[in-house]
Amino acid sequence: MRKLILPILLVIAVGGYYIFSINKANDQETIEALKQEITVEEEVIPATELIFGIELTNLEIHEGKVTRNQTLSSILSPFNVPYQLIDELAKKSREVFDVRRIAANRKYTILRPKDSLSSQAAYFIYEPNPMEYVVYKLKDSVEVYKEARPVTFSERSVSGVIDRNLYLNMIDQGVTPDLIDQFADIFGWQLDFQRIQKGDKFKVIYEEKIVDGQVVGIGEVRAAYFQHFGNDYVAIPFEQDGQVDYFDEDGQSLRKAFLRTPVKYSRISSRYTQRRFHPVQKRYKAHLGTDYAAPTGTEIRTVGDGIVEEARYSQYNGNYVKIKHNGTYSTQYLHMSRIASGMKPGTKVKQGQVIGYVGSTGLATGPHLCFRFWKNGRQVDALKVELPSANPIKEENMAAYNQRKAEILQLISNVPFPDEDPVLVINN
């Protein structure tokens, strides 16, 4: 047996060496090849590189992000740009971009001649947002100009089944808060998103704004669908009278003639009632308004188009504005810290326009808006009154609308729901 083992070991050893040397040879070849490639690379004359449309020849790039309290001057002076020039730049920039709006965390780029630490920067490029950049040319003659990066739109759709709430389920699908806001706004009058059910379903088809391959925001919502308690709600965009609105399948507007609330992101602190204990007067009396608690200075929006009837101060109401919307409806906004400029009897206002700011003037314990809704000269509960809708599709637009509707409904039905988890949908 021994006689046999030895030659086998020998074969293995020799074989091993052989294989090893092949590897070595291969490595050697690879190294040679790499060396050649590197040499070849060095011989190629690089094509002129462009950054922000500027030729990079003999320029080196310094990139940075604006830090807190940094100004044009503090960014540029380390690059040997004299104060005089910075001053001239700021003045020249005024019509293109106000340099006082240079903000923390925004990107900037400085291009400076190579091989000379003492040389003055040749260009400063500031990016106020992902879509635009401002170029400051510092050499020879000073120039300032703004360029927009090309924006492309791509259509995207998401769908889902609610198992927690709209916000979380949409975030799960990679949707941004912006889109969730838009979606909630579109159906704001049809659905109360605080009260949606597990198992409710949604679909949205929308545009994404893309710059340099990066999603920078959302464009229009092209179609939206919500299923609540088995009922279908669709939102179909259509342009009428120069304005795009969302309509239902019958061509009724999803928007009301009045906004739901005059103050965004607020909490109702007191409802309309015929009898409540008044916190200041310490007695029971009717409260014929809806109170929205919000910090002083919060914007107050008129809930509908109309004409300012009153805008003044009174002892109990404080600073207030009253707006007449039409022959039937008026609204009144009390306790403002400040009435917006331009508000005086006769001023025309558009739905959503800021008419004043939350405060606690007049008879009020803390900052809030007391919102009063008048119908035919009587105060009614703004939260309960049946509100008229914005204009439906006009007769003459109906044929065009129906065609659009067919396309949109097809788009919606083409979007599949993700794997519906039967446990989450049925058991709740």
Q: Pick between residue 257 and residue 263 the one whose CB is nearest to Zn ion.
A: 263
Q: Pick between residue 23 and residue 365 the one whose CB is nearest to Zn ion.
A: 365
- Contact range with Zn ion by CB under 5 A, out of 24-32, 49-57, 211-219, 289-297: 289-297
Find the Cα–Cα–Cα–Cα dihedral 187, 131, 86, 59, rounded to 10°.
160
Q: Pick between residue 245 and residue 291 the one whose CB is nearest to Zn ion.
A: 291
Q: Pick between residue 289 and residue 359 the one whose CB is nearest to Zn ion.
A: 289
- Contact range with Zn ion by CB under 5 A, out of 98-106, 215-223, 286-294, 376-384: 286-294
- Least Å from the CB of residue 259 to Zn ion: 18
With CB under 5 A as the contact rule, the residue among 289, 306, 362, 367 that binds Zn ion is 289
Q: Which two tokens stand for residue 90?
A: 């700021």
List the end-to-end C-alpha distance of the chain, in Å, as a whole number: 76
- Contact range with Zn ion by CB under 5 A, out of 164-172, 290-298, 323-331, 394-402: 290-298
Sign of the dihedral defined by the CA atoms of residues 365, 367, 368, 370, in that order: positive
- Least Å from the CB of residue 314 to Zn ion: 14
Size of site (CB under 5 A) for Zn ion: 3
With CB under 5 A as the contact rule, the residue among 134, 291, 306, 390 that binds Zn ion is 291
- Least Å from the CB of residue 365 to Zn ion: 11
Residue 370 touches Zn ion, criterion: CB under 5 A: yes
Q: Pick between residue 113 and residue 295 the one whose CB is nearest to Zn ion.
A: 295
Residue 245 touches Zn ion, criterion: CB under 5 A: no
Site string for Zn ion, 175-204 (x = CB under 5 A): ------------------------------
Q: Pick between residue 75 and residue 370 the one whose CB is nearest to Zn ion.
A: 370
- Least Å from the CB of residue 301 to Zn ion: 17
Q: Pick between residue 160 and residue 289 the one whose CB is nearest to Zn ion.
A: 289
Residue 318 touches Zn ion, criterion: CB under 5 A: no
- Contact range with Zn ion by CB under 5 A, out of 111-119, 162-170, 287-295, 381-389: 287-295
The answer to whether the CB of 229 falls within 8 A of the CB of 388 is no
- Least Å from the CB of residue 289 to Zn ion: 4
Over the chain, what HEC string results? CHHHHHHHHHHHHHHHHHHHHHHHHHHHHHHHHHHHHHHHHHHCCCCCCEECCEECCCEEEEEEECCCCCCHHHHHHHHCCCHHHHHHHHHHHCCCCCHHHCCCCCEEEEEEECCCCCCCCCEEEEEEECCEEEEEECCCCCEEEEEECCCEEEEEEEEEECCCCHHHHHHHCCCCHHHHHHHHHHCCCCCCHHHCCCCCEEEEEEEEEEECCEEEEEEEEEEEEEEECCEEEEEEEEEECCEEEEECCCCCECCECCCCCCCCCCEEEECCEEEEECCCCCCEEEECCEEEECCCCCEEECCCCEEEEEEEEECCCEEEEEEECCCCEEEEEEEECEECCCCCCCCEECCCCEEEECECCCCCCCCEEEEEEEECCEEECCCCCCCCECCCCCHHHHHHHHHHHHHHHHHHHHCCCCCCCHHHHHCC
- Contact range with Zn ion by CB under 5 A, out of 4-12, 238-246, 291-299, 313-321: 291-299
Point out the residue whose Cβ comes nearest to Zn ion. Answer: 370
Q: Which two tokens stand for residue 141?
A: 């003659």
- Contact range with Zn ion by CB under 5 A, out of 170-178, 246-254, 282-290, 343-351: 282-290
Q: Pick between residue 276 and residue 350 the one whose CB is nearest to Zn ion.
A: 276
- Contact range with Zn ion by CB under 5 A, out of 96-104, 185-193, 364-372, 386-394: 364-372
- Least Å from the CB of residue 353 to Zn ion: 22
Q: Which two tokens stand for residue 272?
A: 């309309």
Residues that bind Zn ion (CB under 5 A): 289, 291, 370
